[in-house]
Structure 1
Amino acid sequence: MVQSFYDCVTNDNEILLVHYLEGWRELIKFMDSMGSVFGFISHETMTKINILQGYLDGENGKSYKTIKSMINYELENQVVNFKYLPSKQVPSGCRTLLRMHRALKWLEVFLYKVGTSPGHDKTSEMCAEAYHKTLSHYHSWFIRQVAEVAFLAMPPVEDMYKIVCVKDHEEAKVVLLTTVDSIVKVYNITQELYTINNMLDLP
C-alpha cells in the first residue's frame, strides 16, 4: 500500500491513476482486516475503483493516465457536470475520484491519530474523531448514524498492531506514520488540482 502511494507521484508531481487505484485496493484490504467496521465504505470505494478502472481501460484510457490529464480531458469534453449528477449515467472520473479523495483524508487523519497516540487510546474513539473532522461533512444523517455504530465494533489498538505486523507501539508508530506520509503527498497534490479547477463540491 505504502509503495503504491509513493509510486503514484512522478518527478513532475503528477499522480499516476493506475498506482493510485492500486494503493486504494491495498488500503481496502487493510480496512477489511479490521472486520466489518469499514464495510460501509470499502464496498462503495471498490465500486468507484471499478468505475475509474473502466475509464483507464476504455478507448480514452490515455487521457486518464494521471489525475491531471483526467481533469483536463473531462473538462475539455464537458464530461463533468457541476450542477447535478445525471441519472442513468456513469459518474465522471472527476466526481468518482473526489469521493475517494475525501475518504482518503479521513483514513489519513485516523492513521495519524493512532500513530501519534500514547498507545492506550481506543481505536473507536480515534476513528470517530477523524470521521467527524473529515468525511462526515459529506454524508447524510443516516450514513453518519451507521458509521457511529460501526466504530463501536473496532478492534482494540493491540489487535491493530497485529494487523500491521508490528510488536508494539513504537514499531507501529514508524509504520503508521510512514503510511500517512505516503498518503499526505498524494492527497495534497489532488486537493490542489481540484481547488484550481473549482471542483471540490461536485454533486
Structure 2
Amino acid sequence: MDSMGTVFTFISHETISKINILQNYLNGENGRSYQTVRSMIKYELDNGVVNFKELPPNRVPSGCRTLLRIHRALKWLEVFLYNLGTNPGQAKTSDMCAAAYHETLAHHHSWFIRQVAEVAFLALPPVEDMYKVICVRDHAEAKVVLMTTVDTIVKVYNLTQELYTTNHMLDLP
C-alpha cells in the first residue's frame, strides 16, 4: 500500500496501529476471547468493554471499536478497487478514490479530515502507475487482479457487517 502514494501510506499506518491494538488484545490475558470476531464481540459485550455512548478518555479503544474502523476502511478499499478495475483508464485515480471516499467514509469524518482527504487524493499516481504497483501491464490484466481482490474483500466485509449489524454495533463512537 505504501508504494501507491501518500494517501495510502497514511492509511497503511493507521491500519497497522489498529491491527496492533487488536494484536495486543489477542496476546493479552483475555486473548482466547479475541480469536474470532464473534468471540471478541461476545466477550466485549458480556464484560462491558464496549462503550456505546463515547470513547472513554485515556483508554485503549475496545477491540470492537477498533475493528469497526478497519471494517469501514475495507469498504472504501473495496469501492476504490472496484472503480479502478472497472474503469478502462479514462478517469483519474484521484476522482475514483474521492468518489469511493464520499460513498463510504466521508460521513464518519469531521469537516477538517474530509478536507485533508480531498487534498491527499490529488497526490494519487495515474492509473498506469497504479497498474505497475499491482504488477500488471494494462487494464485487462488489472481488471482480473482487482476484481478477484474485490470479491474477497466483499466476502470478508459482508461477514463482519452481519456480525456488527446483529449486535447493533455499527455506530460505535
TM-score of the two chains, using structure 2 as the length reference: 0.97
Match of 2:132 among 148, 162, 175: 162
Q: What amino acid maps onto 2:107 in structure 1? A: H
Match of 2:21 among 27, 51, 55: 51
For residue 198 of structure 1, give the secondary structure of its aligned residue in structure 2. Answer: coil
**Deviation digits for residues 77-130 of structure 1, max 9, x if unmatched?**
111011111111111000000011111100100000010112221101000000
- Deviation of 1:60 (Å): 1.1
Unaligned runs of 5+ in 1: 1-29
Once structures 1 and 2 are overlaid, which stretch shifts more, 168-177 or 119-128? 119-128
Residue matched to 1:172: 142
1:114 aligns with 2:84: yes
1:139 aligns with 2:109: yes
The alignment yields a C-alpha RMSD, in angstroms, of 0.9
Q: What amino acid maps onto 2:31 in structure 1? A: G
1:78 aligns with 2:57: no
Distance 1:151 1:92 in 2: 30
Distance 1:47 1:118 in 2: 34
Residue matched to 1:40: 10
Distance 2:85 2:141 in 1: 9
TM-score of the two chains, using structure 1 as the length reference: 0.83
Match of 2:122 among 126, 135, 152: 152
C-alpha contact 1:85 1:91 (8 A) present in aligned 2: yes
- Deviation of 1:41 (Å): 2.5
Distance 1:53 1:109 in 2: 27
C-alpha contact 1:74 1:80 (8 A) present in aligned 2: yes
Distance 1:141 1:91 in 2: 23
C-alpha contact 1:101 1:187 (8 A) present in aligned 2: yes
Unaligned runs of 5+ in 2: none
Match of 1:64 among 15, 26, 34: 34
| Percent identical residues | 77
| Superposition pairs of residues 7-26 of structure 1, within 5 angstroms | none
